[in-house]
Amino acid sequence: MRVAIHSNYNSALRFISDDSRECLKSDDCTQNPQIEDCNPKNCAFLITQGNQNYREAAKKNGFEIFITPKDLINYFDLNLKLIGITGTNGKTTTAAMIYSILLDFGFSVAMLGTRGFFVNGIQKRPKGLTTPSLLEIYSAINEARQENCVYFVMEVSSHAIVQNRIEGLEFALRILTNITSDHLDYHKTLENYIAVKNSFFSNPIDLKLINKDEPNAHYATQKTITYGIESPATLNAKAYSLKDEITAQIAYGKEEANLECALFGKHNLYNTLAAIGAVKLLENAPLNQICAKLENFGGVLGRMQVVHQQPLIIIDFAHTEDGMEKIFQSFLHRKIAVVFGAGGDRDKTKRPKMGLCAAKYAQKLYITSDNPRSEIPSTIMQEILKGIPQYLRNHREICLEENRAKAIEIAIKNLKNDEILLILGKGDETYQIIGEETLHFDDCEEVQKALKALK
């Protein structure tokens, strides 16, 4: 991408690009006469870990100025409080909660993550990578500062940590939600993945908020505050109920408050504690006031999203064994039917684990396609099925249907009023990747179609 630089920061440089093909051309200046000091010589190429092999190509395409990530601070206004959230699951919901609470307290706030880039309740950029390129992050922070934002909440993926996409950023607070198994196609081993996540918390001088119940968490203890449910922590849920919605009595040191949140599940109680802990650390607002603001939070599209009440149908992004188990455990008092698949060209080791997890909790399993990409969908489905032992297969209704829309339709057609249907894996995605094609597909839309057909 190519980003324009505000004239206050440098007398010569006007544009920075991380794409070797995007050197400013004379025609660009002719077509945009409003650009001050527009000149191809005023466009710099940012050399990052991901594009360093394209330096010669950038030269051939006209770039004369080359800068490194360390130079970016000279061109962007980063004078706000950054909140970085990492973890296998819960990043998006926790970020949205913090964003919502701070907005309700009257702060000007930006948020960058899986759902896109938002400033003060307005979406500025569409959904993309959980953590985009370094230049895009700096550009978003700079844009947030132009709108007088005090806080910038962002999700930090394991890929971004390894690829140095957060290089040079100073975080006012770093948050860990959890560490389970994911992205082993990229990180190769669980040990590598755990190490990458924990590396985000290795600096002893940074303020950290850590899930005390996470056994894979390893971090510098200096400037570390913890939250938890099972383990003693600075911020604790002393008592809680998860039936229908979250209610809890929580304590931060000697300060106590009652919490009510219209979300489902123990995993969302953890997300709630992380959000409350973050605002408490950054603003030291009374605990009961923070909890009151959180009551206004309505949830995130595609995350435990209720799309029909009777019978109850819920859509969620859960696409790992751990993520699925957290969803299932939220409805132990219900009979469960589930529609799910696994993405192609991604970690294959999780497929049988997902199958076993689903069979442990659900009475009806509809194994289908997710984003198969270059793989054969039926092969992925069989790999999921392999994880289900014969004794469970004998006591479960299992349907293999490659067409995801058809699987949703069949599941809804067979759904009883005393059952809950969970449609997992895609959340609020509006596409399906089959082969090299990206096709429109929306789980929520398919639910509505199936319900309409029944009527």
Per-residue pLDDT at 247: 95
If we measure between CA atoms, which residue out of 294, 218, 299, 231 comes closest to residue 265?
A: 299
User: Which residues are 117's β-sheet partners?
Assistant: 112, 125
Beta-carbon count within 10 A of 436 CB: 7
For residue 311, whether the previous peptide bond is cis, meaning omega lies within 30 degrees of 0, is yes
Length of the chain: 455
Per-residue pLDDT at 35: 56
Per-residue pLDDT at 38: 61
Distance in angstroms (rounded) separating the CA atoms of residues 129 and 187: 17
Per-residue pLDDT at 34: 52
Determine phi and psi for 135, rounding to 5 degrees.
Answer: -65, -40
Per-residue pLDDT at 220: 86
Determine phi and psi for 306, rounding to 5 degrees.
Answer: -80, 115
- Provide CB contacts within 8 A for 281, sequence distance 6+: 173, 207, 209, 225
Maximum Cα–Cα distance for the chain, whole Å? Answer: 73
Which contiguous run of DSSP H or E holds residue 361?
Answer: helix 350-361
Distances (CA, A) of 283 to 172, 277, 279, 287, 290: 12, 10, 6, 11, 10
DSSP state of 321: H
Is there a contact between 280 and 256 (Cβ–Cβ < 8 Å)? no
Per-residue pLDDT at 171: 97
| E strand segments, 343-400 | 364-367, 397-400
pTM, whole model, 2 decimals? 0.84
If we measure between CA atoms, which residue out of 275, 360, 279, 370 comes closest to residue 321?
A: 360
The single residue listed with the structure tokens 């604790």 is 236
The single residue listed with the structure tokens 């990458």 is 196
Residue 152, token pair as written in the block: 């910038």
Per-residue pLDDT at 40: 64
Per-residue pLDDT at 161: 93
If we measure between CA atoms, which residue out of 50, 51, 54, 45 comes closest to residue 23?
A: 45
Beta-carbon count within 10 A of 305 CB: 18
pLDDT tens digit at each of 455 positions of the chain = 888 776 455 556 778 999 998 887 655 565 555 555 566 678 899 999 889 999 999 999 889 899 999 899 888 888 999 999 999 999 999 999 999 999 999 999 999 999 999 999 999 998 888 899 999 999 999 999 999 999 999 999 999 999 999 998 999 999 999 998 676 677 679 999 999 999 999 989 999 999 999 999 998 889 999 999 999 999 999 999 998 789 999 999 999 999 999 899 999 999 999 999 999 999 999 999 999 999 989 888 888 999 999 999 999 999 999 889 999 998 988 999 999 999 999 999 999 999 999 999 999 999 999 999 999 999 999 999 999 999 999 999 999 999 999 999 999 999 999 999 999 999 999 999 999 999 999 999 999 999 999 88
If we measure between CA atoms, which residue out of 295, 328, 325 comes closest to residue 314?
A: 328
Per-residue pLDDT at 129: 84
- Provide CB contacts within 8 A for 315, sequence distance 6+: 302, 305, 307, 423, 424, 426, 427, 428, 443, 444, 447
Per-residue pLDDT at 122: 96
